[in-house]
Structure 1
Amino acid sequence: MSFELNVAMQAGGSSQFYPTLPTGFAPNPGGGPAHFHTLTSGHVQPQQLSQHQKATTQPQQTGSQTLSHSPSPPNSYYKDERTQRQHTKLLRKLEKQREMINSANNSPINGTKKHDHVIATPGVSLSDPANSNSSVKSSTDNGLGVIQSVQNINKSIVQPKQDTSPLRQPLKKHILHSQTTQRNGGIASNISQSGLSYGVNVVSSKEDKGEFSSNVLVDEEDPQALIIEQLSAIQKPSVINLTSRSAKIIWEGPIITDSQIDTRNLRYNVLLSDRAKDGKYKSLYKGDSYDCIVQDLQPGQMYVVRVQVYYNKMHGTASEASEFMTPPCEPDQPMPPKLVMRTKNSLHLRWSNPPSNGSPIQHYLLEYDDGKSGLSLSTRSSRQNNENDCHNFVEATKTKGKHYTLTKLQPSTVYYFRLAAVNDVGMSLYSTICSYCTSNNPPIAPKPPKLQSSSPTTIRLWWERRQQDGDYVLQILDPDSGHGYLNAYNGPDTSHECCELRRATYYQFRLRAENEAGSSPWSNEVTYQTAPEKPGKPGKPHVKGKIHGTHFRARWDPPIDMGGAEIIRYFLEITSGAKFERIYSGTDTESICDRLQPGTTYQLRASCEGPAGISPYSDVAHITSEALVPAAPSPPYYDSPPGPYAAVLRLDKPENSGGAPILEFEVQMRHSVDDKYAIANKTNDYSIVYHGRDTFCVVKDLQPGWPYEVQVRAINRIGAGPWSSWFRFSAAAAPPNTPENLNVIIKSATHLLVNWEEPSNNGAPIQEYRLESLTAENESDLTFENSSHKSAYLPCYHGGQTSIDLRNLSPFTIYYFRVNASNAAGVSKWSTCIQARTPAAVPAAPQIKDCEFTAKKAVLNWSKPECNGACITGYTIECAEKSITTADANTTYTIHGLIPETTYKIRLQAINSIGCGPFSTYTKFTTLPSPPPPPTLECTGVGHNFIKLKWGDGKNVDFIKYYVEMFVQRAKEFQIVYSGTSCMCKVNKLQESTAYTFRVYASTDRAGIGEFSDEYIFSTTPTLPSNIKAPRVAMEGAAACLLTHGVGSASSFVPSGILPETPTSFIAGLGNLSLGVPLTLEWQNSKNSFNDPVEYVLQYAIGKDGDYRRIYRGPET
């Protein structure tokens, strides 16, 4: 009977559930959930065990695996293969040792009798591996080796009193693990965390005095034995909240009398055993709680539970066992019934026993849907396992047996079944729904198959499926083969394609349905035909009759292979080299090809169409039409206009050459019949002007300006074609003659009138005249014969008039003129040049170049204008409604007396002997504001290398920028030492005892730079000597002097260098002079960068708080 256990810990009144764990788990390690080790692989990691724990835990785990109510413990994880091999080897040794111990206990010497007691000695912790190995070796020699190993550790073995509780024994003698085999209840070994431990069983007997008996005692001073004894005094646990699947186990902690034991560090190990599994226990929970919940128990099963206490690395013996039995419950869900045999009207079902869960099964309840779900045999496979369908189940039977036969069922019907088991507690869950179908009747004849599609080699048929149909048999009959009907298909599909058939052939088909009951009759026979194929290509087209220049008759032969059907129509296509064009479609095998080009080679091809499609094209035939005379070409034309005496005409070939190459052209010309010249001369004769192969011709001996008409025709081997249309053109006219009598009339200093006479136009109207001029101030500047001046002429008139007024000329200037005429033919030669001088005039308007202005004056500059034949004698300047006339021709003038920050408009004009010229354009400017006055410099601080300067009242609201300059002797000039908006500055890096000259000026962005201030002279101070160290006291000679603060004996000695005003009290205060040696004070020299003499001042004070007075001043040190 298999079951699984889950453990839950309850703390603070709430239960927490945990899955079953192997023994040896540490409470809440690694910060994971309580009582678990968290691994990356998702397994629960057991606590690291000692060697003895590994040896004792492995059998327990092995035994727990035989318990079907719990899963296997987690796998042990090792660092590498070597460690795993050592672990396996050690386990084998310990297992062998335990087998030897058990065999020794079962031997006649160590066999237990009725009053024998098995006393387990406490586990001995072996920290030394050598001792551990020796103990293991000695214990594995024979069964009595265990007693010898106990004697080796110097433990006293005494006979314990029977029926003596560990709690009631005196503290002087403590018995470790004094439990009999009956009390242990089959526990093979105890789990310890204090290292590798071994339990020793000692057998004692009251009846057999010859047998060896001993008890393991511990000295009363051994604290470990006392702790183990108190840990072993735990009461057996209690079981509450017992259900069929779970139970809650509670216990109380042991009575601890030792104050050194911290009860908060106690851990409890719950051991559970199934009596059906030979009393092997399994650890369910290990922690500090006083209860746990066990789940997934088997109903109606007897269980035994114990509790064992752990403290640090020690543990006591397990408590007494508490037995409990889970109440029974309803059976488990049974498996669905299986079909044994079926007929048309019955189904024989069989099923197996489910777990009864502690109460015998009274009977089984079989239900079915009475075949009313509306499902047939054809839909059985699609919905057989669908449990979500709604079924109206009714009871079929209640029986204690495990099989049943349902009768009086409908043939070919699907029935759904479910099964439940009933015991004293109740009914189990229904099994999963299963379905079985009764046998069927043979189906009736189906409808004949229908045609779905056909091809030249295949026919696809389809048919309808009925409920009673299973598989189908399709047969085919070829009347030409003589084999009768043959099977074409056998299977459950409702369509089939028959392949490898002949084209355009009739076939007969019939269909039969089959199911489990038998086969139906054959359906009615149907006949279907395969599709024909495309016909083969027709014969190559050829000419029938005579070939004409624009048409001929073509015919072709039918194809040899018609594809199994008659030809529906033929197609004829023709092309001259670009793209085939269909010109015929019909049932005939010949057609007329018209609208052809003479002398052109055509390609012909034919094709035909049958029921299956269009055939390939036939071979291409090449047929050339007969040639004709060429068509009329386009009229002649020219690329460039004809000349006055000849014209070059272009000739194009006709679009239709008649099918033969063009050999030559012929051109004829005549005078235009509409022209006045032809009417006057009474002539309109034709003349051949060109006959040749070239595509151009030159027509000569033309009259300038006369109109002509020409036409052309082409000639091939057949003959000359028709003439083209007439092309009309006119001979070009000649340029006109040179204009004559060019004359100039002076109107004013800037106005001239030029005229001339109209020349002969030479056959074309004059279109315009071109008048050009050349300017020179003196006659010597230009010579007409000088060719270098010919390009200097500038056009001054274009038009059809013979006179022109020239205005806006330069006064007192010589102008040279020439003129020519032009028509459609060209331009005439230039006329003879004539000259004319314009009189003098007033000067031109001057141009103001720039105007420089300050707050009270402005300087005006302008360029000198043209004098126009008379020298400029002066200028008139208008400024602020005042007129200023200069007495000379100077182009610069300064205007004084202007008002600061005032806008002025200025213009001027030039004056010569003729008069005043025009004014220039206005120039506008605004004078600057008055620059700020210079401030007064003051010296606010001076040192040996710097001077501090200050100016103004310290306020600078207008953000005036100040510039302080100092005169530098080396450069012999003033240089700027400060610039900014501040009102003070400091000049550094100066020399001591030196006079410096300063000046200052102010400026603003608008007013500009102001005047310099007066020069100020300031001097630096001398440099102070550098500091020296305090003086030291020295004595001339070898004797030493001691300075004291007391007054010594009177002495008339006065040190050299002491000032006369030094009081005698100081001299007396110098102390006792030993041996009458005078007192000398010394100090170091003052190291300075200057060469001036230095004097030293020595001061003294009497007492600590006395005032200093000077006693010496001089150059000595």
Structure 2
Amino acid sequence: MSKIQKAPNPSSVFCFLQVILVQVNPGETFTITTEDGHIQCIQGPAHVPMMSPNGSMPPIFVPPGYVSQVLSFLLLLCVVLGEILIIFLLFIGDFSCEKKSHSHSPAAFTFEVAISNSGKNGKFKSVYVHIINYPLFRVSATSSSIKETISELVSFTTESCEPDCPAAPKLINRTKNSLSLQWKSSNDNGSKITNFLLEWDEGKNGPFKECYYGHLKQYKLTKLAPSTRYSLRLAAKNDIGMSGFSETVTFGTAGVVPPAPAPPTLLEAGVTWMALGWSPPAGGALDDSLTYSLDMEEEGSGYGFQPQYNGDELSCTLRNLRRSTSYKFRLFAYNSEGKSSPSEVVEHSTKPDRPGAPSKPAVKGKIHPHSVRVTWEPPKDNGGSDISKYFLEISEASVGRWEPIYSGAQREHVCDHLRPGTSYRLRVSCASKGGESQASDVTTVTTAAVPPGPCPAPALVGKAKPKEITLQWGKHQSWSKTLVVFLQFGPHSEKAELCTAPGPPEQCCKPLVTCKSATCAVVSWESPACNGAEITEYRLDWGQVEGSMHIIYTGPCQSYEVKGLTPATTYYCRVQAVNVAGAGLFGDTGVVTTPPSVPAAVAVLHLLEEDQVEISPPFSTCLAIQWEEPCCHGAEITGYNIEYGEKQLVTVGRNTTHVLENLLPDTLYRIRVQAINSFGVGPFSHSMKAKTKPLPPDPPHLECVVFSYQSLKLKWGEGPSRALIPNPTQFNLQMEDRFGRFVTVYNGPCHTYKVQRLSESTTYHFRIQAYNDAGEGAFSEVCAFTTTKSPPAPLKAPKVIQLEENTFEITWEPLQPMKGDSIVYILQLAAGREFDQVYKGPEPCFRLPAAQTNCEYRARVCAGRQCHDLPGCPELCGPTAPAPCSAASAGSRAPSCGFVGFSLTCVMCNVREGNTLSVINS
């Protein structure tokens, strides 16, 4: 035996492996292939164990001339019993490759492994049998032709583990408050069980908690609740660990006999059945399973209480009972512990049934014209209860509708207030606690006939009309078919006085209309016939169109003053009278025409905008208004009065447009208009507010601040040169062109402008205008400004030529005369920092004699323009721009030959050696 270990699973598994020990002699070397495919070299001497799953020799490669030896053959056997893994290593024998091989064929060997857990003398159980062929070896074993041999006994002990799960505990005794439990030990698996763990759910179906831990094999749970079920489970523990829990078992404590229940209650009762219900006994266990037994005793039966129901329901229905009978009941409750005391005895009764129909009514005594006495007998079956009331019904034979005439306990009745000679039908029914019976058979009775009585007084049918009434009267009070045998009349009916109904009033006459003024008229009318009812009101219909009038007055008066009329307008009117019977017809239509009057007020008055006026007036002193012509009221409008300002009045003709002139600028005016005709002036219109615009701005003073030969910078007014903020005042600067027309050169809010691209020594004419929201102001006086003459163009770099050893000639390109002005040249020379003028004249060259040796000179030259047309013939030196000056002062300006004005500086160097001159452009 090699090793004993825990098996990975509880099932039995047999595995078979053979191990071959190969002896490698000294000096031998062979290679084997491992499971992962690598080549392994082994040198002798060595014993190499080789495992083979099928019992064959693994491939061994040795060098030529060497032979490997198989020393022994081992059998590795793994047996899994339950959860125990047992590994057997069986030694087969020693072999040598040098032995002679046997001539007989390989034999088949059978190996059997048996195990016993009760000692050497115990019963062995075979756990493995296998047949293997070994063609190359002889082993001491049993083949099919050799008797079986048994190896020596080998003893081994498996490792200990935790106990097996114990069996569930058993109940050996129980009471109302205790449970006695007992259990047995399970297999300890090699380690003695030391303690048991008992857990319970405390009867709450919740998690398990420990209730006992110890070495005893029984336990008593005390202080338990009666009739309660408890779940328990058990586990065993040894030195290795705790086993698993047993199956969960549930035991219940003993209960108590339930208390006496409440008596059963009547849920519903019928004639032959009764439904009873009850509730569980108070104070019993909620989970106690109860059954109930209901006993019943019939009144007068003499059999006592008999069981009627036994079950766990809380209600039952008893059938096949007798009607209107009293029964006694009592209830018992049962549980597993026994029977409770009976409840209190309670008595319930079934309901009675409906009674049968009474006998047919019979006439008792003489039949009178207006009454008859009838009687009847009670029903044969009263339904189990006394008859409490009878109902007598009557019906005329010709009508068929039954009407009750008697209700009571008596069994006869006098039917009165009948009509003579009339057939009547009678029937009777009865009622008891069980209900109302069906009606009896019908009896027909005919009252005695009499002569006809007086007819009822005639009566008015419907509503009386003004000119007709409808009368109706009924039959005589005692009419019958037998009257045909009498040839006489009855008495007269009573006298009836009737009156026709009042009618609406008659049509009114044509109203009379009188004009009090052009806007007021009085309408009067006469009262028509009232037709039986007093006239309560009159309605006056009024309008300008005969077919479209409306009511303007409703009241009892017979005249009405209509106000607010339009002069010179025709009106129509008519009158209608009304009483309680309704409204009469409208009378004839009256016509009236109001006299002419002054015109109506002007309704529409508004101010005209500038674009709405054909000829634009100065709106700083003028306002243009327009209005619509009002109603003339019968006389043609001849003119209008316009009131504005401080009640200043202007009268105009029939035109509806007018311009108010000579007003103050920027002033608010109130304006209203009234129309005029031959009758006078009408009312003023509503007041309209209008404001004149402010005067346009005056032109600013225009001046030139900078003169140049090709531009003029002009300035006007006070303000910044650029419009930094929005300025309501704008300026329009114009310049005269060669055709004598002024053209706008600038339009904007700035106060300065530079006019460019001008010709030299030329006079230009300018004017300026200011404008704002009030309009455009007048132009200023025309101002003339003259540009200056332009300076000469810049000269090119002068050239230096050495004539002799110390003599140099400086030359430059000449310029053409400028518009008749001659050109002079100014040459300046500097041996140090300062320049000195060495030449000024019209010639474009200069000879410099006696130049110092080894000295540097710098020369610059500029051109000057001699202005002969100016006083003093001033000179303009280029190329700098002239300073601002006027035409008069330009001639007094001195020439400027600053270094800035030259475009080129020439440097001359006189070198002793070589006498060369270098010209440096700077």
Looking at secondary structure, tell me which structure has more strand per residue: 2
Same fold (TM over 0.5): no
TM-score range, shorter chain: 0.3 to 0.5
- TM-score, normalised by the number of residues in structure 1: 0.37
Looking at secondary structure, tell me which structure has more helix per residue: 1
- TM-score, normalised by the number of residues in structure 2: 0.42
